[in-house]
A and B are shown apart, each in its own frame.
Chain A
Amino acid sequence: MSSTKKLGLREKYRLMTRGLGWDTTYQPMEKVFPYQHFEGIKIHDWDKWEDPFRLTMDSYWKYQAEKDRKLYAIIDAFSQHNGHLNVSDPRYVNALKLFLQGITLSEYSAHRGFVHLGRQFGGVGPRVAAQMQAIDEVRHAQTQIHALSHYNKHFSGFHNFNQMYDRLWYLSVPKSYFEDALTAGPFEFLTAISFSFEYVLTNLIFMPFMSGAAYNGDMATVTFGFSAQSDEARHMTMGLEVIKFMAEQDPDNIPIIQKWIDKWFWRGYRLLVLVAMMMDYMLPKRVMSWSEAWEMYFEQAGGALFEDLARYGFRMPKYADVSIKEKGRYSHEAWAALYSYGAAAGLHTWLPKQEEMDWLAEKYPDTFPDFYAKRLEHWRDMQQDGQRYYASALPQLCQVCQVPAWFTEPDDPHTLCKRETEYKGQHYHFCSDGCKDIFDNEPEKYVQAWLPTHQVLQGNCGGAELPDVLKWSGIDVGRDNMDFAGSEDERHWNQSIGERK
């Protein structure tokens, strides 16, 4: 190779990806890459992997560094100009707390998964792609922490997200989701994270949080969103490539992958209940309803995707019909539960204002006015009598998704959905058929679930009284939790806005 001749893009790409791999000779390849066989996926030719971006590591660094420089310049300016005072309503900041508590360290978990794949995949194409995504994910975690650090100076609930992620009860929902993926084999991990999450469901996280930030005057988060957007586009394309590559390698792969799609669609959908609640209840200026978002991004876009994938023999994920039945109730069930557990949350909760009740009634005419509104109105009456309702008993959790079992029967929104199975003489409980199927397929995995309710009752969480458990979970009791009304956040906000005027 001449040192003066400049390489063409194609040649450079070949050398910087395929050219970096070799077949080992001191040790057999299957010992060097031990993880890629036990799942039953058959790969005959790794060279068939098409990296849709043709991005090489050197240009990746250059491009990302440029994006980071811009992002940090804007975050600095946001901070210097007290950008937090421009948000639509101080309650909005609780959506950011949920984001930092629930998503940021999930990005870090995704990073860990892709680091593992970046080492363990036998094919050099996907190995390089996984390495790049590993760097994306750790960078997303870092930039989110930095983008939100300004809010930490002025609001509660941001100060201890790392401890909360490991210990706080509702955060075991995202944590267990990612730990399930991390402890699966590499092909299942890709089907879970790259395809089911990044390709099929990602718009339902990204759109609500980033458009929500734009609607509510939060420039720090919007800027993070722009900075991550090109990465997300790359991740989505990888998700689709993963599925097509595995499907084209061997027809025996199809039923294995379909089972993973069924599982990870359902797990992802259950995880998104936190987003549904955020969209309909936590954004003071709303972008669209959960029901509308589910129609647009899952029923229409997802429907078209699975029509396209039918040529490989794939079908819509199992229980997609249940998710459609639940779209009119998903957010209402979740917010009601979080409101009633507001004493045990790392963020503030509240009842919707009258104009927000009107919006909910308009968006959910079939379910809200006659049913969910009644519950909120009753709680409003209690609150006006000085009896703000807080649930005092621990919630039963689903063994798989770890969400409190607040979901109702697919065909009867007035009755809680309860499913149970017996395995090796023990009883296990689930929120749905979707979660029960996942358990029944791999009980030895899910019997190990660390369910916060059971751990508290065993005495493993700091003590027997709620304040002890909350303190152990990383919550500053009396500041981070309870209703927004009367909170330190509310006081500080009113003070700052008053001074500004």
Chain B
Amino acid sequence: MTVNALYPDYTGQPRDGQERFHGGAVVYVSWARHLMFTNPYAFLVMPDLKVGDFVTTMLAPAYGPHPDWAKIDWASARWTSNGKPVTLDPAQTMGAAGVHHKMHLQLETPGLDGIGGSGI
């Protein structure tokens, strides 16, 4: 049973299918060991946006206030989704990199552990 309803075959209309986002996709991002950002963020991303531009135009304004942001070594930074590694090439578009609607991406930056190493 997928719902407890007064009549059989009740179905609900999802309110956040990709068709409702004017060609964009919602992408969630969190940055491990940096809980100054209290929760994952949601970004609306066009599929032809380059990964590198996603980082500089969308993530940098959001995460830039943290002193660790400027110290990120992008060569060693890793992305994961649901615990599995994801390869994001800065030259690729988000669509070509396989970033899909309502995907969660976690940024891991080894060596950077937040304010005073506290994970904040």
Beyond A415-B32, A427-B102, A444-B3: 4 further Cβ-contacts under 8 Å?
Answer: A371-B118, A395-B38, A428-B102, A449-B15
- A404–B43 alpha-carbon span in the complex (Å): 14
Residues of B within 8 A of A453 (CB): 42
Segment 220-246 of A: residues with Cβ below 8 Å from B = none
A448 at the interface (CB under 8 A from B): yes
Cβ A416 vs Cβ B102 within 8 A: no
Cβ A405 vs Cβ B39 within 8 A: yes
Residues of A within 8 A of B43 (CB): 393-394
- Which label, helix, strand, loop or mixed, suits the secondary structure of the A interface? mixed
- A208–B37 alpha-carbon span in the complex (Å): 28
Segment 79-101 of B: residues with Cβ below 8 Å from A = 82, 100-101
Q: Which of A31-39, A56-64, A122-130, A469-477 contacts B (4 or more CB under 8 A)?
A: A31-39
User: If the complex has contacts A395-B41, A458-B20, are A426 and B118 also in contact, measured as CB distance less than 8 A?
Assistant: no
Cβ B32 vs Cβ A426 within 8 A: no
* A and B contact pairs by CB, cutoff 8 A, 16 listed: A185-B6, A336-B38, A340-B38, A370-B118, A374-B115, A375-B118, A375-B120, A378-B115, A387-B65, A393-B62, A394-B42, A394-B43, A442-B3, A443-B3, A444-B3, A459-B22
Cβ B40 vs Cβ A418 within 8 A: yes
A454 at the interface (CB under 8 A from B): yes
- A34–B7 alpha-carbon span in the complex (Å): 11
Instruction: Tell me, rounded to whole Å, the shortest Cβ–Cβ distance linking B32 to chain A.
Output: 7
Cβ A371 vs Cβ B39 within 8 A: no
User: If the complex has contacts A38-B4, A395-B42, A414-B33, are A457 and B21 also in contact, measured as CB distance less than 8 A?
Assistant: yes
Pick from A382, A396, A444, A451: contact of B12, CB under 8 Å: A444
Instruction: Tell me, rounded to whole Å, the shortest Cβ–Cβ distance linking B57 to chain A.
Output: 12
Pairs of residues from A and B, 3 with the lowest C-beta to C-beta distance, nearest first = A393-B41, A444-B3, A337-B38
Cβ B24 vs Cβ A448 within 8 A: no
User: If the complex has contacts A184-B4, A454-B16, A457-B24, are A396 and B41 also in contact, measured as CB distance less than 8 A?
Assistant: yes
A495 at the interface (CB under 8 A from B): no
User: How many residues of chain A are within 8 Å of chain B by beta carbon?
Assistant: 56
- A96–B3 alpha-carbon span in the complex (Å): 37
Cβ B13 vs Cβ A448 within 8 A: yes
Q: Which residue of B has the minimal Cβ distance to A256?
A: B4
B5 at the interface (CB under 8 A from A): yes
B49 at the interface (CB under 8 A from A): no
A450 at the interface (CB under 8 A from B): yes
Residues of A within 8 A of B37 (CB): 340, 391
B103 at the interface (CB under 8 A from A): yes
Cβ A426 vs Cβ B102 within 8 A: yes
Segment 17-58 of B: residues with Cβ below 8 Å from A = 17, 20-22, 24, 26, 28, 30, 32-33, 35-44, 58
- A427–B104 alpha-carbon span in the complex (Å): 10
- A370–B117 alpha-carbon span in the complex (Å): 11
A447 at the interface (CB under 8 A from B): yes
Instruction: Tell me, rounded to whole Å, the shortest Cβ–Cβ distance linking B22 to chain A.
Output: 7
Q: Which residue of B has the minimal Cβ distance to A405?
A: B39
- A447–B42 alpha-carbon span in the complex (Å): 18
Q: Which residue of A has the minimal Cβ distance to B41?
A: A393
A420 at the interface (CB under 8 A from B): yes
Cβ A457 vs Cβ B42 within 8 A: yes
- Interface 0/1 of A173-217, CB less than 8 Å to B: 000000000001100100000000000000000000000000000
Pick from B6, B14, B44, B115: contact of A447, CB under 8 Å: B14
Cβ B39 vs Cβ A395 within 8 A: yes
A325 at the interface (CB under 8 A from B): no
Cβ A429 vs Cβ B104 within 8 A: yes
Instruction: Tell me, rounded to whole Å, the shortest Cβ–Cβ distance linking B110 to chain A.
Output: 15
